[in-house]
């Protein structure tokens, strides 16, 4: 059992449940649900598409691995520790931007990017760490939002946007390099950030196969297999 006393269920998410802890931190419980559509996994979808046995544990193990790598490089994160046996991770509290944003780094023109801009670019064409931000809004289809709009809506300042862009590219570059060592190619990935008690931008949520699209040659690697390949 978890040593810290679990207080209240704060939020039931698509892939994780969130609890408060007596020590003031947060406990994330990873589930086997993954995003997708019509029973097919898709990290770009905003709904639960299917459940895969072991997906929660795989996601946590990968998240623990990458957060430890980032902490070694002094990247600011909310990570405290993980309990792989119980599929839980303890994290520091953070305030999200607005009602939640996702920060995407794209190395290939696939997924929603290609759906939007397919008339102007070939599918799978290389992208130079293309950065974009989306609003977490299922009903609206998680639309993209510009720097100017973030500022006008008082969601993030111009300086915060530049810091978020810098951190996203730096973090995704680290992840991409680690995957390259395993002969894996990162096509795209989404991250989440928040503000800590000192209003410092920190990486939050998770870094798992459910957040990224990874290929080996022309073969797409599903999340559970990706965990095995990365942690092997």
| Residue 135 and residue 226 in one domain | yes
Q: Both 218 and 132 in a single domain?
A: yes
**Do 39 and 121 fall into the same domain?**
no
23 falls within a domain: yes
Check whether 6 has a pLDDT greater than 80.
no
The percentage of residues in the chain with a pLDDT greater than 70, rounded to a whole number, is: 91
Q: Do 85 and 165 sit in the same domain of this protein? A: no
The answer to whether 67 and 111 are in contact (CB under 8 A) is no
Whether 41 has a pLDDT exceeding 90, the answer reads no
Looking at residue 39, its pLDDT comes to 60
Same structural domain, 117 and 43: no
In the chain, the number of structural domains is 2
User: 124: which residues sit within 8 A by CB, 6+ positions away?
Assistant: 108, 109, 110, 114
Same domain, 30 and 117: no
> The domain spanning residue 50 has which CATH number?
3.30.200.20
Give the residue numbers spanning the domain of 144: 96-231
Pairing status of strand 201-204 against strand 212-216: unpaired
Which residues have CB under 8 Å from 51's CB, separation 6+?
31, 32, 33, 34
Residues 26 and 124 in one domain: no
Is residue 192 included in any domain, yes or no? yes
* CATH number, position 110: 3.30.470.20
> What's the pLDDT at 71?
96
Shared domain for 69 and 140, answered yes or no, is: no
Instruction: Please say whether the beta carbons of 174 and 160 come within 8 A.
Output: no
Shared domain for 123 and 208, answered yes or no, is yes
Q: Is the pLDDT of residue 48 over 80?
A: no
Among 46, 70, 93, the domain-final residue is 93
Last residue of a domain, one of 43, 64, 93: 93
Q: What angle do the packed helices 55-72 and 158-181 form, to 10 degrees?
A: 110
Would you state the structure tokens that stand for residue 12, as one six-digit string?
Answer: 């039931």
In a domain, 224, yes or no: yes
- pLDDT tier, 124 (very low <50, low <70, confident <90, very high otherwise): very high
Domain termination residue (choose one: 64, 93, 122)? 93
Residues 37 and 81 in one domain: yes
Is 218 part of a structural domain of the chain? yes
Residue 147 confidence (pLDDT) above 60:
yes
Has residue 1 been placed in a domain?
Answer: no
Task: Give CA–CA dist 161/184, Å, rounded.
Answer: 29
Taking only the tens place, the pLDDT of each residue in 55-81 is: 899 999 999 999 999 999 999 999 999
- Give the residue from 15, 23, 166 showing the smallest Cα distance to 91: 23
Which pLDDT score is estimated for 40?
65
Question: Does the pLDDT at position 37 exceed 70?
Answer: no
Point out which residues pair with 12 in neighbouring strands.
17
Same domain, 82 and 104: no
Q: Residue 55: its pLDDT value, please?
A: 87
CB atoms within 10 A of CB 162: 12
Domain match, 102 and 22 both = no
């Amino acid at each position: 059992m978890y040593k810290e006393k679990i207080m209240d269920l704060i939020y039931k998410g698509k892939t994780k449940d969130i609890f408060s802890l007596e020590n003031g931190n947060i406990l994330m419980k990873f589930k086997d649900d993954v995003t997708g559509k019509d029973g097919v996994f898709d990290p770009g979808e905003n709904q639960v598409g299917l459940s895969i046995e072991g997906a929660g544990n795989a996601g946590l193990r990968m998240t623990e691995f990458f957060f430890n790598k980032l902490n070694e490089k002094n990247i600011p994160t909310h990570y405290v520790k993980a309990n792989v046996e119980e599929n839980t991770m303890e994290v520091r509290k953070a305030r999200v931007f607005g009602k939640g944003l996702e920060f995407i780094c794209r190395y290939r023109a696939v997924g929603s990017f290609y759906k939007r801009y397919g008339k102007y670019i070939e599918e799978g064409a290389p992208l130079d760490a293309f950065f974009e931000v989306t609003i977490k809004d299922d009903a609206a289809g998680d639309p993209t939002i510009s720097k100017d709009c973030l500022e006008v809506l008082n969601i993030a300042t111009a300086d915060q946007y530049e810091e978020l862009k810098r951190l996203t590219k730096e973090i995704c570059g680290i992840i991409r390099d680690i995957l390259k060592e395993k002969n894996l190619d990162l096509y795209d990935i989404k991250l989440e950030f928040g503000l800590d008690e000192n209003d410092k931008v920190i990486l939050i949520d998770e870094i798992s196969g459910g957040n990224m699209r990874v290929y080996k040659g022309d073969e797409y690697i599903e999340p559970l297999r990706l965990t095995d390949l990365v942690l092997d």
